[in-house]
Amino acid sequence: MIATGRPYRMSQQFYKELRLDTPIVNFNGAYLHHPTNTRYEGFRQNIALKTAHDVFDFAKTLDLNNIIAEVDESVYIWKNDQSVPQNMREADPRLIHYGAPSQLIQSDPTALMFSANNQQLATIKAQLDSAFAGVIEHRSWGKPYEYLELTKSGLNKAVALRQAASDLGFSMADVIAFGDADNDWEMLAEAGIGVAMGNADAETKRIANEITLSNEEDGIAAFLTANVLNK
């Protein structure tokens, strides 16, 4: 199954290409659902609207390129520029709203996204930790996107994956998880086998049990072939 920080509209291409029939984790663990099974309950845990507006007010003090808010299936985008991922722009036009999210959203968002220059992200993370500790989580998107994704505190991929595994009759000890960035740390640590991709950062590799080839070298296929299919 797939566990990603991205919304479903940006991951459904891969879900369909892989012909999956499993739950999927979106928004770094804030949304667990099953695209082909409407009876699957899953969960969606949102940021309180008041908290979102507090974050928007705080964002005025930051040097941001863009702000995006995800509310149900709709996306609210501050600036329609090159910082917006192309496949986000390709969503149903009726679901895309341009303008300041702080003035547009009317209900609790599942996630907020901040776009900033890569060299500024560490500083912004520290500022968010100081201002919203215990209220929100924040994770970086992988390259090429310079985004921080904010979700409700206490959520991560491991939380949602643990629930999905239980729903399917497994424990986390049965799970092999692959990851390459900070939004994978909890998942890699809790899985029975946590595998860092060859392109992962040093801390991700330290947390993982194993390291495979990069995502451009079919690292997942190489690991599964050597350690599962040929066993």
* Cβ–Cβ < 8 Å for 192, 172: yes
**pLDDT (0 to 100) of residue 93:** 85
**pLDDT (0 to 100) of residue 122:** 87
**pLDDT (0 to 100) of residue 88:** 80
Q: Which fold has domain 171-231?
A: Rossmann fold (3.40.50)
> Percent of the chain at pLDDT above 70?
99
**pLDDT (0 to 100) of residue 9:** 86
Q: What are phi and psi of 119, to 5 degrees?
A: -70, -15
Stated pTM of the model: 0.90
* Cβ–Cβ < 8 Å for 25, 160: yes
Structural domain boundaries in the chain: 1-43+157-169, 49-152, 171-231
> Percent of the chain at pLDDT above 90?
82
Give the CA diameter of the chain.
56
Q: Which fold has domain 49-152?
A: 3.30.1240
CA atoms within 13 A on the CB side of 83: 19
